[in-house]
Structure 1
Amino acid sequence: MNGLKASRREVAALAKKLAGAGRVPCEVLICPPATLIASLADTAKGSAVKIGAQDCHAKESGAHTGDISAEMVKDAGGKFIIVGHSERRTDHGESDKDVREKSQAVYRAGLTAIVCIGETEAERDQGATLKVLTAQLKGSLSDQVTPKNTVIAYEPVWAIGTGRTPTAGQVREVHAHIRKRLVARFGEEGAKIRILYGGSVKPSNAEELMAVPNVNGALVGGASLKAADFFGIIGAYL
């Protein structure tokens, strides 16, 4: 829940930096609040920056005051939608079933779903990380998943906005487990699904984290609010 119209300047600045960098060998995506999707899509038009949404409702339309559908996101210029972010799961009590239904709505609209999973500090301390992630993957993913319509984002809840970051070894273990589960369920297609790491990613640690096997990108929080900081993270791929 950050950003006003003035945020267009940061998006324009990021687009300019990317243009100056030449060929960008990765996808760059910003998912702003719903109020900014259309205006930022207009600002980013023709650049290397794509725009998405932070959430959507499972239904296409109806009496759901305050919600936004995947079709509305598409109509506003969005290409991706985040579903199941830990803050949605915690603040709004969203279940794996809710996340699965939202992801299916994203597919219905012809967009790409970024499905978030992750354990809490208590779950990690109890040694239940892999068990929790296995359950979330099973419950949150539908049989419609393909490498084109789905991206998985692992976000250790205990590392979001706390300044705490898992070691490269911990990230390696978790991402290897996620990959194993994806391949077990979706076969060869599961080996192609991108897995992002999210949790206190910043310019100073991006290169190390992005070099971990099965880490195919980053889900960036606060560091994405400023073009300079976000570009510093993207620099791990430039």
Structure 2
Amino acid sequence: MTPPMTTTPIRPLVAGNWKMNGLAAALAEAAAVRDALPALGAGNSDVPPDVMICPPATLLAQMAYATRGSPILLGAQDCHWAASGAHTGDISAEMAKDAGASAVIVGHSERRADHGELDRVVRAKAEAAHRAGLIAIVCVGETKGERLAGLTLDVVARQLEASLPDAASDAETVVAYEPVWAIGTGLTPSNADVAAVHAAIRKALAARFAAAGLRMRILYGGSVKPDNAAELLSLPEVNGALVGGASLKAADFLAIIRATP
């Protein structure tokens, strides 16, 4: 069956993942982004990007206070699948929302690798995000070995199928394609490779979720920097970026935001 088509523009999203970086002094970088955003509107298209910062959990509430009244969205970097309970060191999606988050990253490759998170765990966390009224940013991507073996599209398709909840909608779900071998290495796939993976993701989303799948935002992540952002963000079906290290400095993050077509 041919999926329905939509002509509604997809609003880009540029999200900064601070990972395990940032003490209270780093709030000044978020404040600099906050102060610069009003002047950026004229340089963007008719559909300017949403801007999000995902700080460590220790800064989430403070950053919510520091950016109040601004268009900056805040995201958590992870959540537990349960709403509460005996899970020392974890935070629930409800706790993240209470601290000021409107989204949460789930299934990042560093969580999959460092903590052994399986697709079913990622799915449960995405369902928890939706339960709490948060946007779930669901990450998928292949390792270097999988890419060299020609398995990129197979791996991404499997992760999408098993990690996304059946009831996912475009209003509460974002997909982030992050080739594991490109995260923090300075390496990026070719433009053709990025476009091919994003096209495959879009096709899979449309086949599974119909019109909602055509509207879901697909972000690219993996060594996104000011000098390659414009090229990456202009590729078909790239609806924004999940930015790592370059989001830690306001000047670099703002340059990437400005590069959004």
Residue 8 of structure 1 aligns with an amino acid whose one-letter code is L
CA deviations 1:16-46 (Å, max 9, x no partner) are 1112224671110000110000000111111
Matched, 1:5 2:28: no
Matched, 1:118 2:141: yes
Tell me the distance in 2 between the aligned counterparts of 1:73 and 1:63: 17
Matched, 1:47 2:50: no
Q: Summarize the alignment of residues 212-223 of structure 1 with structure 2, pairs less than 5 Å apart.
A: 212-223=235-246
SS in 2 for 1:161: coil
CA apart distance, 1:50: 1.1
8 Å contact from structure 2 (residues 234, 260) kept in 1 = no
8 Å contact from structure 2 (residues 40, 258) kept in 1 = no
Q: Summarize the alignment of residues 146-185 of structure 1 with structure 2, pairs less than 5 Å apart.
A: 146-185=169-208
Aligned length: 238
SS in 2 for 1:218: strand
Which residue in the other structure is 2:108 paired with?
Answer: 85
Q: Which runs of 4+ in 1 moved over 6 A?
A: none
SS in 2 for 1:6: helix
8 Å contact from structure 2 (residues 229, 260) kept in 1 = no
Q: Summarize the alignment of residues 1-238 of structure 1 with structure 2, pairs less than 5 Å apart.
A: 1-22=20-41, 25-237=48-260
**What 5-or-longer segments of structure 2 have no aligned partner?**
1-19
TM-score, scaled relative to structure 1: 0.98
Tell me the distance in 1 between the aligned counterparts of 2:200 and 2:235: 13
Residue 57 of structure 1 aligns with an amino acid whose one-letter code is H
Q: RMSD value over aligned CA atoms?
A: 0.9
Tell me the distance in 2 between the aligned counterparts of 1:150 and 1:46: 24
CA apart distance, 1:49: 1.1
Q: State the structure with bigger RCO (CA 8 A, min sep 6), 1 or 2.
A: 2
Residue 9 of structure 1 aligns with an amino acid whose one-letter code is A
TM-score, scaled relative to structure 2: 0.90
Tell me the distance in 2 between the aligned counterparts of 1:112 and 1:48: 16
CA deviations 1:93-125 (Å, max 9, x no partner) are 000000000000000001100000000000000
Tell me the distance in 2 between the aligned counterparts of 1:62 and 1:172: 42
8 Å contact from structure 2 (residues 240, 260) kept in 1 = no
Identical-pair percentage: 61
Tell me the distance in 2 between the aligned counterparts of 1:47 and 1:217: 20
CA apart distance, 1:200: 0.4
Tell me the distance in 2 between the aligned counterparts of 1:177 and 1:21: 32
Tell me the distance in 2 between the aligned counterparts of 1:179 and 1:199: 19
Residue 233 of structure 2 aligns with an amino acid whose one-letter code is M
CA apart distance, 1:213: 0.4
SS in 1 for 2:176: strand
